[in-house]
């Protein structure tokens, strides 16, 4: 991980924006401005950071490293593809990231999270509070590992997938692109792309 920059922008003035701002501030980084498409938020402040305009207005600002702090995977990935900005990762100072783990750009890692050795967290992923990503796991681009969830050694998450609060993925299991694992579920077998699974053990929900 590179050192945190002195100043950044954040896209998103919702819940993830709040925790991202605080994580950045606790690292000694100033959040110069926040951008959000909700016009009613413009002109307000969020934890001391001004919400200055919609997302496209960032292109009229001086260039600074930027984090997309939006929990919805689809929206986060869309914005990452739409805007060619200098993406920055923010890692809460109470998170543990092993020196042999690999973390991409635009990643948000929150308090109490543990990223173990030789794990890979790809661009624009979110690792939420107290989540554990064990050795040799791979978290693909834009995936979201929710609070208190656990990925055992070698688990693989597809692009834009979501692991719900308190869920567990057993060693070596693969979760497909865009798949959703419900809160508290235990994933014991591979999941296909774009399915939703709940329960212990996790079962795919029939969406028909």
Residues with a known catalytic role: 135
Asked if residues 80 and 106 have their Cβ atoms less than 8 Å apart, the reply is: yes
82, burial (CB in 10 Å: exposed 0-12, middle 13-18, buried 19+): exposed
Structure tokens at 173: 């299991």
Taking residue 63's Cβ as centre, other Cβ atoms within 10 Å add up to 10
Q: Using omega within 30 degrees of 0 as the cis cutoff, is the peptide bond preceding 201 cis? A: yes
Distance CA 173, CA 176 (A): 10
Distance CA 128, CA 126 (A): 6
């Amino acid at each position: 991980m590179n050192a945190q920059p002195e100043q950044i922008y954040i896209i998103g003035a919702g819940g993830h924006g709040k925790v991202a701002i605080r994580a950045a501030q606790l690292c000694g980084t100033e959040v110069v401005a926040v951008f959000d498409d909700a016009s009613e938020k413009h002109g307000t402040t969020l934890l001391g950071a001004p919400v200055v305009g919609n997302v496209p207005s960032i292109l009229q600002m001086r260039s600074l490293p930027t984090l997309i702090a939006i929990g919805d995977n689809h929206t986060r990935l869309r914005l990452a593809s739409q805007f060619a900005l200098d993406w920055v990762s923010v890692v809460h100072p109470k998170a543990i990231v092993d020196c042999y783990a690999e973390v991409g750009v635009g990643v948000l890692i929150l308090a109490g999270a543990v990223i173990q050795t030789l794990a890979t967290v790809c661009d624009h992923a979110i690792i939420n509070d107290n989540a554990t990503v064990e050795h040799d796991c791979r978290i693909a681009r834009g995936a979201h590992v929710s609070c208190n969830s656990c990925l055992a050694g070698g688990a693989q998450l597809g692009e834009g997938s979501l692991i719900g609060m308190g869920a567990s993925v057993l060693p070596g299991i693969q979760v497909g692109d865009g798949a959703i694992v419900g809160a508290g579920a235990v994933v014991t077998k591979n999941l296909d792309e774009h399915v939703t699974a709940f329960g212990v053990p996790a079962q795919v929900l029939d969406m028909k």
